Amino acid sequence: MYLMNLSNSNYSLNKFDCNWKNVEEFLKKHRLDGIEIILHEEENLNNMPRNIVKGMHLKYFPTWLDRYYYEEKNEKKIEDDKSNNTLVSIFKNEFNNAKKLGAKYMVYHVSHVTEEHAFTFEFDYSDDEVLSATTNLVNKVFDDDSEMLLLFENLWWPGLTLLDSKKAKRFMDSIKYKNKGIMLDLSHMMITSPSIKTPREASDYIVNKIQDLGEIKDYIKGIHVNLSLPSTYMSQNHKEKYKLISEIIDVKQKYIKTIEHIKKIDWHIPFDDESIRNIIQLIKPEYVVYEVLADEYKQLDEYMRIQNIAIGR
């Protein structure tokens, strides 16, 4: 099944004149089976055709671990305060929304990073600490087995990097939800090896890492197809850049500057090389998601065309 990522936000749907029929026509044009949706409140949901929703990308909180530890420590106090919006309640609501939309799978990011450490790469928590806390949270939230797949996505920050098969196996074994798997994000894996400079090098690296996973490879049910080759940018020292950003008082401006930094690492452009076929052939995923970011319809249209050609569709 071939999909593309899309949000129901006005910003995202403006490319289609906020008309879901235009989205459906776009999917037909590029021979895509539907979308992996990122829910943004209630915008544009009334007229959204449910049949195009195949997956749902759950909310992602990059810096969540300290908050979760606080919520665990003060569980009784928080339970008494009915207005408190905990991580458990947020993700339970996401789970319910995915059921209502009829999604076939959900995607959950397994990572933790602070704003500062996104620049310095000097982390407070280890992979094991992030994986352990994620297990605790996930087992509280997804306590009702369903037909929907719960797919865990890799990142390059501490958590599920998929660079260590033993850690990955311990994590997958610890998740009680039965219908579980992995959503392999290609760019996120590329970023774990900043020396990569070409798409062909990237595909060779990913194929090797997948083979190193052994039996865990069978958990990979979907892939986010995209490309990131940020070797030049990542070779720079960003500590001074963060120092300047940390002095910005306006929260929105600070957020924008941080996102600009992340986008220079994680590009979200098409994987425009036929070597992508080697990855798909090795994994044989159920879901292939074109996860790219485009500012306008024309650019998104071109991205879909490029990706289809590279894959050979």
**10 φ, ψ (degrees, to nearest 5):** -60, -40
- Spatial separation of the C-alpha atoms in residues 9 and 14, rounded to whole Å: 8
Q: How far apart are the first and last CA of the chain?
A: 12
Cβ count near 221 (within 10 Å): 21
Judged by DSSP in three states, 75 sits in helix
- Spatial separation of the C-alpha atoms in residues 307 and 29, rounded to whole Å: 13
pLDDT tens string, the chain, 313 residues long: the values are 999 999 999 999 999 999 999 999 999 999 999 999 999 988 999 899 999 999 999 999 999 999 999 998 887 666 665 556 899 999 999 999 999 999 999 999 999 999 999 999 999 999 999 999 999 999 999 998 899 999 999 999 999 999 999 999 999 999 999 999 999 999 999 999 999 999 999 999 999 999 999 999 999 999 999 999 999 999 999 999 999 999 999 999 999 999 999 999 999 999 999 999 999 999 999 999 999 999 999 999 999 999 999 999 9
Pick the closest to residue 91 from 24, 23, 138 (CA basis).
Answer: 138
> Contact, 312 vs 272, CB < 8 A?
no
Judged by DSSP in three states, 108 sits in strand
Q: 288-305 burial by CB neighbour count: b if 16+ within 10 A, else e?
A: bbbbbebeeeeebeebbe
Task: Extract the tokens encoding 163.
Answer: 């660079």
> Contact, 291 vs 223, CB < 8 A?
no
> Contact, 297 vs 198, CB < 8 A?
no
